[in-house]
Structure 1
Amino acid sequence: MPKYPPHAPEALRRDPLPLRGRTALVTGASRRGGIGHAVARRLAAHGAGVYLHHHVPHDAAMPWGADRIEEVTASVRDALGDPDARVVAGPGDLTDPAAPAALHARAAEALGGRLDILVANHALSGSDGDLDTIDAAMLDAHWTVDTRSVLLLVQAHARHRAALPPRTPGGRVVMMTSGQDIAGGMPGEIAYALQKGALASVTRSLATALAEHAVTVNTVNPGPVDTGYLTGDAYEAVAARFPAGRWGVPDDPARLIAWLATDEADWITGQVIDSEGGFRR
């Protein structure tokens, strides 16, 4: 007879720190107003040690500007559920093809030599256009940051997990996509939509490739999230398209991503999950 998980009452009680002893790398976690910061806080609150990747020059060039990394790190550290867990931050320019593997290695070393959870949250903002205005440089820029660097990070994570004892529990990869496959698509952001669509399309293939190392792979579409990039009438127009009458906030997708990192989600892999609050496109 197959051996199924126990169903005794004690097996159904939730651990208040389900990620105690686990470690995570969260990329693109450089702003307190961003999704990466919210994810990192959730993982830390669940007991995980967290490495925060940042690339301040990117944010500094954007309308919202850069945040103080020390304050971002302190905010995540304040959320720690396990006082023995660590929160570390470090830079990385992921346009460099050698950077993803180097970043993964630094994160693993900083967190004690083992890395369990990879959340590839980073993306290139701007440098995009519609079908008439995109050019090769735009396409290449988004490929480099939004897709190539993510796949190289996943490769590094797979190699790292393969070197651990067989079936070491807790291995997770979460990638981020967007609404490019949902009604209307993203005709004004062709380069971004193309590369995010590539991540969605490769999710099941990566999940199959990493299954032998007991690593689940899922991709999350957070929908429109208020990270400070839109204001005025356009902001209100987007808010009106949510049944709840509000934008998503960074903690909305962060709750889903943190749950995917726990053992409760151990049987979920190869999925692209929309977390859009019923957004009407």
Structure 2
Amino acid sequence: MHASLPLAGRTALVTGVSRRRGIGFAVATKLAELGANLVIHHHRPHDLDQPWGGDDLDAVRRGIRSALTPGAEMRDLGADLADPAQVEPLIDAARGLTGELDLLVCNHAKSGDDGGILDMTPERLDAFWDVNARSTLLLTAAFARSRRPKAEADAAPLRPGERLRRDAPFAEPRGRVVWMTSGQVHGPMRGEVAYATSKAALAGVTATVAAELLELGILLNTVDPGPVNTGYLDAETADRPLDELEAYLATTPFGRVGRPEDVANLIGWLVTPAAAWVTGQVLTSDGGFSLG
């Protein structure tokens, strides 16, 4: 494996890749630059319901293809991950690109149409849970099953505290998973109770799932990207008041919010051999916003 292309020969599935302004696009582009084969997932109807609207998917595809290294392959797939029946077929289709799937980045998320605690209904809570938490767990489960030795495929479910059986230590990680949480532990997210709840679940269960995946040689880490402008902080497409933002940013050390590339650089590192000793962590990449 060439040092400048640490993901050469690896295949990655990145979910939530539908807009060139988005984190998913930046992550997929970074992994392509590192040599990976790419499968990108999108669900454009969600974007069409947002203030920033949908992007040109052909332009999204062209942008990522232009970053692929010679010989690398790419495929894109649409799926509504609110439907659990579409989860496992997505993993199977991603594996079909090269015959194996090595990396899973769960970047997809439902946003918008949220509210404060006085606005909560069972339907609203379920809608965010289904997309942000449930589908991420189901994608990870399907990915892990695809990496499990065939001899253990029919093993009984684990009891509390029980470990998976494995034959020997692993010479290197056998897979990587990255989840995305939010900044709910660093301060209030007013008006985003359902979103924050679904994202808090992922951060809260990271250590538990990471410990189980580690028995298969799979590393799991969760990233909190902090405030990243993917269009929701542009005046013409904002989904929140921006009156005081510019003045506030002037008081911060770097004078800006995050960019999708900031997150992509961290995730790109996490899935390379350089980060082979990092697992079970919830990593905040916010330029110090949470320290203010």
Do the two structures share a fold, i.e. TM-score over 0.5? yes
- Matched with 1:31 is 19
- Matched with 2:51 is 63
Closer, same or farther: CA 144–241 of 1 in aligned 2, 3 Å: farther
What secondary structure does 1:94 align onto?
A: coil
Q: Which one-letter code corresponds to 2:183 in the other structure? A: G
- Matched with 1:4 is none
- Would you say the 8 A contact 1:170–1:263 is kept in 2? no
Indicate yes or no: 2:186 matched with 1:186: no
- Would you say the 8 A contact 2:173–2:276 is kept in 1? no
Q: Which one-letter code corresponds to 2:228 in the other structure? A: V
- Would you say the 8 A contact 2:173–2:219 is kept in 1? no
Equivalent residue in structure 1 for 2:105, among 106, 115, 119: 119
TM-score, L = length of structure 1: 0.90
- Would you say the 8 A contact 1:243–1:279 is kept in 2? no
- 2: distance between equivalents of 1:105 and 1:255? 27
- Would you say the 8 A contact 1:238–1:247 is kept in 2? no
**How do 1:159-178 residues align onto structure 2 when only pairs under 5 Å count?**
159-163=145-149, 167=170, 169-178=173-182
Q: After superposition, give the CA deviation of every residue in 1:179-233 in whole Å (9 maximum; x if it has no partner).
A: 0001x22132111111100000111111111112111000000000010012343
What secondary structure does 1:98 align onto?
A: helix
Q: How far is the alpha carbon of 1:120 from its aligned partner?
A: 0.2
**How do 1:39-78 residues align onto structure 2 when only pairs under 5 Å count?**
39-78=27-66
**How do 1:175-254 residues align onto structure 2 when only pairs under 5 Å count?**
175-182=179-186, 184-232=187-235, 233-237=243-247, 239-240=249-250, 242-254=252-264
Indicate yes or no: 2:104 matched with 1:94: no
Alignment RMSD, CA only?
Answer: 1.9
Q: State the percentage of identical aligned residues.
A: 52
Q: How far is the alpha carbon of 1:243 from its aligned partner?
A: 1.5
- 1: distance between equivalents of 2:267 and 2:77? 21
- Would you say the 8 A contact 2:180–2:223 is kept in 1? yes
Closer, same or farther: CA 241–78 of 1 in aligned 2, 3 Å: farther
The count of aligned residue pairs is 266
Indicate yes or no: 2:71 matched with 1:84: yes
Unaligned runs of 5+ in 2: 152-166, 236-242
- Would you say the 8 A contact 1:216–1:268 is kept in 2? yes
- Matched with 2:115 is 129
- Matched with 1:256 is 266
Unaligned runs of 5+ in 1: 1-13
Q: Which one-letter code corresponds to 1:149 in the other structure? A: S
TM-score, L = length of structure 2: 0.87
- Would you say the 8 A contact 1:241–1:279 is kept in 2? no
- 1: distance between equivalents of 2:36 and 2:59? 19
Closer, same or farther: CA 57–18 of 1 in aligned 2, 3 Å: same
Q: After superposition, give the CA deviation of every residue in 1:98-128 in whole Å (9 maximum; x if it has no partner).
A: 111111111110x211000000000001121
What secondary structure does 2:25 align onto?
A: helix
- 1: distance between equivalents of 2:105 and 2:54? 21
- 2: distance between equivalents of 1:45 and 1:63? 31
What secondary structure does 2:118 align onto?
A: coil
- Would you say the 8 A contact 1:242–1:277 is kept in 2? no
- Would you say the 8 A contact 2:174–2:216 is kept in 1? no
Q: How far is the alpha carbon of 1:238 from its aligned partner?
A: 5.5
